[in-house]
Structure 1
Amino acid sequence: MENGMLSIGLSGGLDRIYESSPELPNTFLHDGAAVLVQDGRVIAAVEEERLNRVKHSNKFPSNSIRYCLSTAGVELGDIDRIAFYATEAYCKAMLERLSVSQPVPLDPKLLLRQLLARELGAEIDPSGFPS
Structure 2
Amino acid sequence: MRILGLSAYYHDSAAALIQDGDILAAAQEERFSRKKHDARFPVNAIRYCLEHAKISLDDIDHVVFYDKPFLKFERLIETYTAFSPNGFSSFRKIIPLWIKEKLFQKKLLSDELRKVGFGNDLKNKLLFSEHHLSHAASAFFPSPFSNAVILTMDGVGERATTSFARGIDNKIEILKEIHYPHSLGLLYSAFTYYTGFKVNSGEYKLMGLAPYGEPKYVKRILDHLIDLKADGSFRLDLSYFN
Query: Do the structures match in fold with TM over 0.5?
Result: yes
Structure 1 contact 10–34 (Cα < 8 Å) conserved: yes
Q: Give the one of 91, 114, 117 matched to 1:117.
A: 114
Q: What is aligned with 1:8?
A: 4
Q: 1:88 to 1:77 in 2, by over 3 A?
A: farther
- C-alpha distance after superposition, 1:81-127 (max 9, x if no partner): 11111114246669x74364x4x595433321111112x13325211
Q: State the AA in 1 paired with 2:97.
A: L
Q: State the AA in 1 paired with 2:70.
A: A
More helix by share: 2
Structure 1 contact 82–130 (Cα < 8 Å) conserved: yes
Bigger CA radius of gyration: 2
- C-alpha distance after superposition, 1:47-68 (max 9, x if no partner): 1111111111111100000000
Higher relative contact order (CA 8 A, sep 6+): 1
**Structure 2, unaligned stretches of length 5 or more?**
77-94, 129-242
Aligned Cα root-mean-square deviation (Å): 2.6
Structure 1 contact 9–84 (Cα < 8 Å) conserved: yes
- Equivalenced residue count is 109
- Residue 75 of structure 1 and its aligned partner are, at CA, apart by 1.8
Structure 1 segment 1-131 matched on structure 2, within 5 A: 5-13=1-9, 29-90=10-71, 97-98=96-97, 100=99, 102=100, 104=101, 106-118=103-115, 120-125=116-121, 126-130=123-127
**Structure 1, unaligned stretches of length 5 or more?**
14-28
* Aligned residues with identical type, % of pairs: 40
More strand by share: 2
Question: If the length of structure 1 is used for normalisation, what is the TM-score?
Answer: 0.69
Question: If the length of structure 2 is used for normalisation, what is the TM-score?
Answer: 0.40
Q: 1:88 to 1:56 in 2, by over 3 A?
A: closer
